[in-house]
Amino acid sequence: MSEEILKNEVVETQYDASQIQVLEGLEAVRKRPGMYIGSTSVSGLHHLVYEIVDNAIDEALAGYCHHVQVTINEGNTITVLDDGRGIPVDIQAQTGKPALEVVYTVLHAGGKFGGGGYKVSGGLHGVGASVVNALSEWLVVDVYRDGKIYEMQFSRGSITKEMQIVGTTDQHGTKVTFKPDPEMFDTTEYDYETLHTRMREQAFLNAGLHITISDERIESADKPEKERFDSMCYEGGIREFVQWYNRHKTPIHPTVIYMAGKKGDQTAEVALQYNDSFSETIVSFANDIHTPEGGMHEEGFKRALTSVLNAYGQKKGIIKGDDKVSGEDVREGLTAIISVKLTDAQFEGQTKAKLGNASVRALVSSIVTDQLSTFFEENPAVARAILDKAMMANRAREAARKAKEAIRRKTGLESGQMPDKLRDCNDTDPTLTEIYIVEGDSAGGSATQGRDSRFQAILPLWGKMLNVEKARADKVYGNDKLQPVITALGAGIGDEFNLEKLRYHKVIIMADADVDGSHIRTLLLTFFFRFMRPLIDGGYVYSAIPPLYKLNRGKTARVAFSDEERDKISAEMRGDNPNAKIDINRFKGLGEMDPHELWETTMNPETRTLKQITLEDAVHADEVFTVLMGEKVEPRKAFIEQNAKYAVNIDI
């Protein structure tokens, strides 16, 4: 082993003005696409569509657009057509070029920087149209305006056909068709459901706006009509949005509570309804852009909701003395949509994940305080039902705290005392260590013998664990199947969860490749999602993929992870002799493997296959967990019927 320290090498080239690069026009976008659309993965690909649709939505916000059509064409090109005013085609004074050309070729150009074209808009960075153009193999824009059709064509941001009049029309609006550049993206295949979800969201947020989406790809022709075309228009706006979120849950009051107000150039609307679940769903938007990290509008809402419920409870004598219900208590079982619109939205970061305008907090807070208080006075039965739920949540939380304390006393949860079944690793640096949560003692024994004890810990689980979707926190803390997991990870649970205390930076679920194994995996993931969410958000959770088959020919042995791989390996092992005998055995479970096999196939970092568990869409994940793990049978039955065709490797 060399003891010489690696030093930086001197670059033997001159460093003068000629080395300084100025990226002109849209070169910067093609050089660093992630800065503008987040990534060049499938999420960035879909982001291109959102940018063009957002421009159409901005026309709707300005009161001129009533219908937006999105089409996935053959070859995964996209067409977005709106009936707004049409992008201006007259000469833009600063550049001396047609406004249409400026919008599609100049990075920070648009009608949203105080020119009076828009009161509010989502695309405040002024990069949307030009970025889509820069990242498209080709793009064609047609403008229907003043009785004429204007057309302009581009390729990778450069003009290939100057703006010209190509016909006459009695329509008005803009049509954009583009093909994402395969040089820029990991994939160029659009997912209908992803786009449909976003378009549905926009239709809910803009009451009365009609949005249609269709999939015209030939390979989609065998899909049911409803999967290839959706027409969405919601006169009830975010009221209907809340109802849609609660469609798989049982509301505890029939009507959706709706509040709205404005101050100066800012408007805010809030819709909420409680259900009988134990989880909260708060989804917020600013200028129709989803803010997954919340911001000032969420903060204002949460504070006001807690304050109003406590004030009402004390006024009616339901909450005695100095007792209070916490924010967490009042949000149990809540579904709420918050939508604000404002002229000068200040988003934190290019991806617009969090709203920073402090004035919005005060606006949302005052609307909720005034209008919810009035609603409670006029609807005492609803107020009482909501408050009773919050009080029950408060009592359950107190019971959970006592259960937690009892566990601490009993097991030394924070004293360093680890579960009896845990076979810990030698290394104590969390960044280097990993824990295998293993189904059953048998597999746990093989894993313990086969592992690398320097950095791999093993925790066997036995029996089916609690479905936390149907249980309150106090039941979770006292559960004998989950408690060893909580203790071993060492980071706490619920609102006390602290990633800095996590003892392993890889949490690997290792279960059999059968129905029971899938069930255990799902139960564990439900637990992590509901009570240790940062674990998934941070990318610490993995699923080990064990092999399905072992193939032998003489002394040669290989494993396969799928039926296709089995057939391929079998052909390779026969080689020139198609009649050669290959012994193929299906692994019935992890416990059948000897320690060496388990190490080589499932635990050796050099040869194993791990699947990282990620959350692309937390709201969708929440919905799926509710459907699959919740109390209601009908939604689960419908889901199974709809998705049965995708099921593989089902043990009969």
CA distance 424 to 477: 22
CA distance 240 to 247: 10
Of these residues, 240, 280, 516, 617, which one is catalytic?
516
3-state secondary structure 72-97: ECCCCCEEEEECCCCCCCCEECCCCE
CA atoms 472, 271, 525, 329: torsion sign: negative
CA distance 288 to 453: 51
Q: Look up 516 and say whether it is catalytic.
A: yes
Looking at the DSSP assignment, which residues form a beta bridge with residue 140?
153, 177
Retrieve residue 600's tokens: 């080589």
Place of tokens 């329509």: 171
b/e 430-459 (16+ beta carbons within 10 angstroms → b): beebbbbbbbbebbbbbbbebbeeebbbbb
Written as one string, the DSSP assignment of 377-432 is HH-HHHHHHHHHHHHHHHHHHHHHHHHHHHHHHHH-TTTTPPPTT-B--S---GGG
CA distance 377 to 371: 10
Of these residues, 269, 434, 439, 622, which one is catalytic?
439
Looking at residue 577, the DSSP 8-state letter turns out to be: -
Of these residues, 82, 101, 512, 622, which one is catalytic?
512
Beta strands 506-510 and 434-439: pairing type? parallel
Q: Look up 429 and say whether it is catalytic.
A: no
> Which of 276, 622, 246 shows the shortest CA–CA distance to 470?
276
Q: How far is CA 476 from CA 403, 434, 630, in A?
A: 9, 24, 15
Q: Taking a C-beta distance cutoff of 8 angstroms, is the pair 439, 510 a contact? A: yes
Q: Look up 537 and say whether it is catalytic.
A: no
Of these residues, 137, 328, 441, 514, which one is catalytic?
514
Q: Taking a C-beta distance cutoff of 8 angstroms, is the pair 25, 105 a contact? A: yes
Q: Taking a C-beta distance cutoff of 8 angstroms, is the pair 38, 264 a contact? A: no
> Which of 387, 383, 336 shows the shortest CA–CA distance to 364?
336
> Which of 435, 440, 423, 434 shows the shortest CA–CA distance to 589?
440
Looking at residue 538, the DSSP 8-state letter turns out to be: T
Q: Tell me the residue ranges of DSSP E strands in 181-295.
A: 210-215, 229-232, 257-263, 266-274, 281-286, 289-290
CA distance 246 to 469: 15
> Which of 341, 385, 405 shows the shortest CA–CA distance to 124?
341
Looking at residue 591, the DSSP 8-state letter turns out to be: G
CA distance 235 to 257: 16
Q: Look up 215 and say whether it is catalytic.
A: no
Q: Taking a C-beta distance cutoff of 8 angstroms, is the pair 99, 129 a contact? A: no
Q: Taking a C-beta distance cutoff of 8 angstroms, is the pair 358, 346 a contact? A: no
Q: Taking a C-beta distance cutoff of 8 angstroms, is the pair 368, 270 a contact? A: yes
Q: Taking a C-beta distance cutoff of 8 angstroms, is the pair 102, 95 a contact? A: yes
Crossing angle between the packed helical segments 358-378 and 380-411, to the nearest 10 degrees? 110
- Residues involved in catalysis: 439, 512, 514, 516
